[in-house]
Chains A and B, each alone.
Chain A
């Protein structure tokens, strides 16, 4: 069960704070100032909404429909039919009425709902393309047509909402490594311990994950204490033929991520892809990350730099799964105006993979090339009973598969877009749509009234500027989608900090500290 009060207590006892010296209101200013321009493909049906809309839109749309249509959208669970959305956990189904904001916001009823939620829960508003389209999908173009075309994109069905979250990397790793880390989506994960150690010459000496985390914990404690001897002692415990990756340590200490999350109600890549290797699922979490130099943000917090003197360092986007190793990264120009102009991301139709250029993009996957499969027969072929001519099948499929066209993502300059508010007196044009940023408060929890942290909503003395409903939705530890029985790639909501970090360490322009 989800117990946000207990999680908040842990947050207080461990002084949970992911924004370093920056107060939440400054984070909001930065999130506004460096909000990327987001360009969607003209055929995009599902534009970003936020957690709140995933719960509030279905009831609102259902209220506008006639009864026969409403009935087609109800979700069958056993012998019962539910209005969307629902949250299922095993045989228990939390109905839409119990997921209303007022219910979640009330400490008593909210706690009752939390008791029915766990990491095994699944949110769904129907589990299929047609249902998602009826509830969330765009249906007509700017010119009022059914079919979109370049320059005449589909109009976003609901207000576009983008979530922003700032994470100082050093603080994020400290909270990742603490032993009593709560298991919810808000606390998140930053499991990057493997980035800090590498073998020299293919070592066979074992070096476990827990041992790596223990060394990092000691290193951080020693660094906080300014104890160089203790730092050296921690590093001395690295096993023979393994070495510390100073570049990762430099990235950790010197940089801050401002992550922008685009949450889509549905991934309908299947509608666009001319390939069998397509995906389709509810609840799609994508986005990008703007990197800042930590030194700049410390100066901003100290008042020695102003907001207009801050220049973002790098932008990173997420492209499909991290194991595909295909995320995009770009060092931004040093000049502030040029950096701002260069901060444009492109969302691929349907898949919502986020790129840095308008183009056709091969859907690449660097994972398989790292392993050989020499002369092997697929495992299942051994299990087919009888003397079935499996080899015939293998030969046939081989002949077919090698000639498949590759999957491609398409991004475009001719679709709907959103981004920073246009300057006064300028016309952004008919393809630009407004959007709202929701910045998750992740600043010092121990300073209520002065600073804001989402976990404060679960405390007995919750301040008025945070909401228990927002916290419940953001911390929801289950999957953000069910499936229609064929494809199920819906996943739990996870912050992408770790994958952005690994990409930054691999390809970023990283300021170097003294080598340890």
Chain B
């Protein structure tokens, strides 16, 4: 779905767009709410994918930036009375700065160490959020409650529908922005830095600047998602932003497809609905097995990685290619040479 130039790609994009627009008028309140959650997750996944998929920096801690966006928007709305359409952009800018600043030390870490550091960030986030010194702003462990935004100018939409449309607009705009980013010089530079960092530097690409900016942008996306999530849920507290959230994001981009923007939607659908699905599977194991969904989720992760390493988007692309059976070269648009990743890496003796 990243190569939206091709006719099938455009058709799919239009079909998705039409469905997404029509959805809130056909479905019930609860499902619209779920739809909004999917869009919110997709925005966060877009951001993480830019960082990890296209730029190769593994982040296990994006829940922290999501939390900054969430709390930032909540504080601005509840304590400072800002309307949501001002609070969310402001909170996102704060996230950008936070991500950019985190990107500096991140330059020194290699892939696995960055994963470790961001893992630590994710584990420490709830603790930082509950810190007594911030209580006046954050509401401490009680959290902050806010009302859902109503549709403006008395348009006849329910709060749920309005929220969904706001999320849809943000998601579409951010997707479009990411698409342009990825297809342009910046995108190529990011991919070059990921695949051949030394050659990229030799070619004159300022790797440090690109990497830190990429971190900032990806944090911004997570921040927007966090802010929208505050609107949707109407409540923030430290418990909402634990390790599980960051891990879910990672799962989402891998299942959806690394370095595939369209895959973000698949990933979001996966992390939104599969835990519920696993929940229902355990009904047959009896009441005592309510803990099993986690195991099923974990097993599914491993299976998806084994069977579909390029994620759903990659599998879809492969299927489309097989159906149209055109002899396309292995290097796809976006510069992702996925096949090369699985070649045996020869080690120098």
- Note whether A and B form a binding pair: no
B interface with A by C-beta (< 8 Å): none
A interface with B by C-beta (< 8 Å): none
